Structure 1
């Protein structure tokens, strides 16, 4: 790692965080992966919160030693967590993706009630966007949110799926259509729904090939009622809130991809330098050092793009001004994670597909989700192209 965009303070923070993860997360990764023990994750999340690491994005709430905390440091948290266990990183990244719009758009009383516990590691958040007909394209959203004038409540009806932390979250941000007569991007709103609200249920959890230990499932909203003040921002501003959340999430996912890629790369390098085959170290063979070289430059490219996007955000850029760079970071880092985990399996051979010989097979399974979650690689390419060709609209 060359971390060209990082300062000496950023590097010192990484070293401190790496020591923290070695103490708090590393001893628990087997319980997360093998036993799928979510309580283990919440214990580590609480430790992160108590240490102040979940407040890095929120400078008005942060009281630690960093002179200018921000997304750069949240990305480092994501990377170091994913290096050890991507399932745990998914849990905290989802919580932060929930905290982000609460911090920016919730009423002060709601911020105190729901944001503080998440950032202190005492609560878990979740975001509810995806539906059976809605992934990267929000235009097909069928969840409806209407206002009941008689009770001054928002009433939500809908069905969401692929929801991280479903059933474990203490609060959900739910997106839905508030004005069906407008285009979806202009008639969408977001509301806060506390866990335990009547009508909110989790009918099913998914069993994924990777990220074992993370909790992902379906959320049904049947005549769910929340107070008027639970609206985020203003009515029909949900799409703008979603875009801001996507930029944040995609840069964080750049850190996730870097962590998975680095873990696979380190295991592949160690094997290539120690395994003897046909009288030579494996890494001396051209086909192997070609793989190692390709992993190396891809990781550096992903790192540069991810840290650039994070630094741009910390400099005050956002919205459409960050959409291209956030998409590039997510695209390259997630594809790099898939490439490196695949090549690591190949370099390790039989050991790479066997659970008894380390975690390369786990990284291979974990990495495959990255080009899909938080906006597919195809959607990221569309967003990049759309910014590069402003005179036309590329055809989805």
Structure 2
């Protein structure tokens, strides 16, 4: 059922993107995985920017052949990139997630200054939300963003961790509490912090089991000062800005999960049709074809949910609150299925699935595990889905 919800133009776009990534990303994917080669990452990001692919979410900036660019096409890009290298896809998805609030909420002169480099591929963006005691419960953050009236500056103090593109990004969108006297949802703000800001430090980067080549680390803000016009939207509007970003991000993660699942499935089906065991091709065994069938229908289900959410977003007929459920479903199902497919692919390959010498199955297995955690855990998005289906109840997290 591939591309059932996509138009002919969408499918042509997919073919073009796939060809582009085969040319630019595929030859560099091994260096990104094996050597965590950031130069390779930056080279592909620049190529994407030069080709206009980082402007897909911004119709006023896009000048390519698509008649109505949007989240559907950004999700296709995400899926195709993740199928080749999920670590690289994380880098560009984070950059686009940074560009999104800049484009929508930054003041015109500030938007021009910080957005152009990201969408042109010459700079990288990052989003700073997670803290040592704050993950899915982002409203409980301790980072403070205070306004210095005398100097007309925002002063940021706090500590963030698990930040994608930390230390390598040029622009950081930082969320923090600007009014501690009220509920966090009513007293949170978002500001732009450029990399050269005094007091901005990067204590360490993390070594993960998967997503090698994606830089993730800590970001510390020690009396960082930025001008008043670096505020996104209005003061204390940060929580609403963050929620709108999360809907966008979760649909993109649906594309990421699809790409990883599809990549695992391709390896499993090829092996099942080639490997001979007890005188028969492996795929002739009921236990194997059962696993292949399970993977196949689950991928179709994930595709339908993901592109339904993307199309709903692009249609612009739903409020952010209404879009929360389909976006959460896309994220939940696609990322869970990516793990399902990665796990069963390794099992189908047996010993070959555990080694680096016999293909990418073990890499995909390690990469997939992050998908059900980043961008809202599976448990959190289930809560968001249920909260829409049980409107008369106040669910207890």
- TM-score range relative to shorter protein: over 0.9
CA distance in 1, matches of 2:294, 2:344: 9
The match for 1:278 is 278
1:1-396 equivalent positions in 2, closer than 5 A: 1-316=1-316, 317-396=318-397
CA distance in 2, matches of 1:120, 1:292: 41
Q: 1:138 deviation in Å?
A: 1.7
Give the match's secondary structure for 1:357.
coil
Deviations, residues 320-347 of structure 1 (Å, cap 9, x unaligned)? 0100000000000000000000000000
CA distance in 1, matches of 2:100, 2:394: 29
Q: 1:318 deviation in Å?
A: 4.0
Preserved contact between residue 157 and residue 221 of structure 1 (Cα < 8 Å): yes
Deviations, residues 74-105 of structure 1 (Å, cap 9, x unaligned)? 00000000000000000000000000000000
Give the match's secondary structure for 1:4.
coil
Q: 1:354 deviation in Å?
A: 0.2
Deviations, residues 45-74 of structure 1 (Å, cap 9, x unaligned)? 100010011101100110100011100000
CA distance in 2, matches of 1:383, 1:235: 26
Preserved contact between residue 247 and residue 318 of structure 1 (Cα < 8 Å): no
CA distance in 1, matches of 2:72, 2:80: 13
Structure 1 segments, 4+ long, off by >6 Å, are none
Give the match's secondary structure for 1:268.
helix
Deviations, residues 271-326 of structure 1 (Å, cap 9, x unaligned)? 00000000000000000001000000110010000000000000003410100000
CA distance in 1, matches of 2:4, 2:186: 40
Q: 1:270 deviation in Å?
A: 0.1
Give the match's secondary structure for 1:147.
strand
| RMSD of aligned Cα (Å) | 0.6
CA distance in 1, matches of 2:58, 2:48: 15
CA distance in 1, matches of 2:382, 2:314: 24
Deviations, residues 157-193 of structure 1 (Å, cap 9, x unaligned)? 0000000000000000000000000000000000000
Q: 1:139 deviation in Å?
A: 2.7
Give the match's secondary structure for 2:357.
helix
Preserved contact between residue 49 and residue 120 of structure 1 (Cα < 8 Å): yes
CA distance in 2, matches of 1:85, 1:139: 32
CA distance in 2, matches of 1:113, 1:352: 47
Deviations, residues 109-158 of structure 1 (Å, cap 9, x unaligned)? 11111111100100000000000010010232100010001100000000
User: Normalized against structure 1, the TM-score is what?
Assistant: 0.99
CA distance in 2, matches of 1:242, 1:80: 26
Preserved contact between residue 187 and residue 236 of structure 1 (Cα < 8 Å): yes
CA distance in 2, matches of 1:323, 1:213: 30
Q: Which runs of 5+ in 2 are unaligned?
A: none
Q: 1:2 deviation in Å?
A: 2.0
CA distance in 1, matches of 2:343, 2:388: 31
User: Normalized against structure 2, the TM-score is what?
Assistant: 0.99
Give the match's secondary structure for 2:155.
strand
Give the match's secondary structure for 1:361.
helix
Give the match's secondary structure for 1:220.
strand
CA distance in 2, matches of 1:250, 1:266: 24
